[in-house]
Amino acid sequence: MYSTEFAKDPHAVIREVRAESPIASSERGIELLSYSLCEQVLRDPRFAVGFDEMMEATGITAGPAHEVIVNSINNTEGEHHRRLRQAIAPHLAPRAVEELRARLREVVESRLAEVEADGECDLVETLTQWLPATAFCLLTGAPLADRQLIGELSDKAQRFFEMKPLNREDVEAGLADVEAYMDELLVARERDPGDDVISGLLLSERNGELTRNEARNLSIILLAASTDTTSGQITFTFAALADDPEAFRQLRANDNLAKNAVLETARYSPGLWTAPRFAREGGEIEGHAIEPGTQLNAFFLAANRDPEVFEEPDELKIERKLPRPPLNWSSGRHFCPGRPLAVLEIEEAVRAVARRWRRMRLLGPIESRGAPYIVAPTKAPIGFEPEGEVAT
Amino acid sequence: MIVQVDRDECIGAATCVNEVPAVFELDEEGIARVIAPEVDEAMTTAVEDAVSICPVEALSIVE
């Protein structure tokens, strides 16, 4: 998986391996390459999300960063987990985030208006580092002036996903910054409540549905988890549409395809490649014995193109009815409650570009880091062609 | 009131089960199921809330 062959064409390698078996071993553990196995493992309570293990692999076994991460909504189970999910769910539900659509559209429009007359820009600089951070501000009542800072905060804090001791300092410092930022915001919202998520969580605390620590933890995770993943997916969605002028033409002809186009491009080119699970007690999958402590990897890059689920999986078809959702946002009890907001943001980005330009194309390779976990593009040169211009 | 689940869309996040455990449960495949399709009048508001907070909009009220 870390080979040059894989880096060049991961899908070719996946196809070849999957033809042998949907369960494969790798340097890091076991890889699950089919949709049904990924779904099964993500949902199986015997397999832990394992933020404890991931923090330990980063060299963090105690302290405030550890405390926040292991007690997060992502990592807890049972009654504690249920309480956290129930508190945040209404605030991120489709109907709730719909309220942000008009504001997000304005932000996208104003950012795209900055693209120079030559129609060329770095997508990361122009759009992706702004849009999810803006959505976070609108959602939480954080000042819009903090947008850039918010993007940077999220970036460092979540590097424990890479499980590298090298990232220890970034993760600890990043989380300390996120905590400090959020503690200030909590005080501000407490003093001056609004109809934002943070005020909502504080209300849940007053109603006895959450402890103070839980409201704080949810707020911190909201910041740490909301920007980088969505930023990455905007870039990969744009790249997929840039690569397929016919799909972009279809989108221009029918604005109603936008949401489906977002889900289909997320399936076709996910920004989140894999999610690990940890078989603490060991177990068994499809007759394969799993040793205690094994890292199981739900390989979204593979599952999203499983021919058992998706017809012609290597084709991008933005009008297709997806028989199952792409796994980018996981499945089961830890399904990402932020999906509606992420999809809404990407949808508005795609819509705005389709309204404005006739086609788009990548002008060079996308530079990124974080693979094979959360792939975060750092540079994505892109060109937009105005109406009437003849493609060369 | 009758509520139904779109099995193709349901992702098994159990948001509805957490909200109204008297009406929703997860089946053996981890997909939401309505325990009794005809919703008791006392439950209608809670069920409407569950429908509106489903993250993948897999629930609908049919009548």
**What residues of B are in contact with residue A347 (Cβ under 8 Å)?**
none
Residue A389: the pLDDT is 55
| Beta carbons of B15 and A332 less than 8 Å apart | no
Q: Which of A184, A207, A181, A224 lies closest to A83, judged by CA?
A: A207
Q: How far apart are CA A328 and CA A275, in angstroms?
A: 9
Cα separations in angstroms, A150 against A226, A360, B11: 10, 28, 30
- Average pLDDT of A210-216? 97
Residue A1: the pLDDT is 66
Helix (H) or strand (E) holding A158: none
**What residues of A are in contact with residue B13 (Cβ under 8 Å)?**
85, 332-333, 335, 337
**Per this entry, what is the length of chain A?**
392
DSSP code per residue over A162-215: G--GGGHHHHHHHHHHHHHHHHHHHHHHHHS--SSHHHHHHHHHHTTSS-HHHH
- CA-nearest residue to B16 within chain A is A86
Residue A323 near residue A200, CB atoms below 8 Å: no
- Average pLDDT of B1-19? 94
Residue A226: the pLDDT is 81
For residue A318, the SS3 value is coil
Per-residue pLDDT reduced to its tens digit, A54-74: 999 999 999 999 999 999 999
Q: Is the pTM of this model over 0.80?
A: yes
Residue B31: the pLDDT is 93
- Give the DSSP letter of residue B38: B
ipTM of the complex: 0.89
| Beta carbons of B49 and A90 less than 8 Å apart | yes
- Min Cα separation A40/chain B (Å): 9
Residue B27: the pLDDT is 94
Residue A5: the pLDDT is 87
Label residue A388 by pLDDT band (50, 70, 90).
Answer: low
| Beta carbons of A324 and B8 less than 8 Å apart | yes
Q: How far apart are CA A329 and CA A225, in angstroms?
A: 12
**What residues of A are in contact with residue B25 (Cβ under 8 Å)?**
none
Per-residue pLDDT reduced to its tens digit, A132-168: 999 999 999 999 999 989 988 888 888 899 999 999 9
Q: How far apart are CA A373 and CA A217, in angstroms?
A: 23
* pLDDT higher than 70, residue A392: no
* pLDDT higher than 70, residue A2: no
Residue B13 near residue B55, CB atoms below 8 Å: yes
Look at the block and give the residue holding tokens 């009548």.
Answer: B63
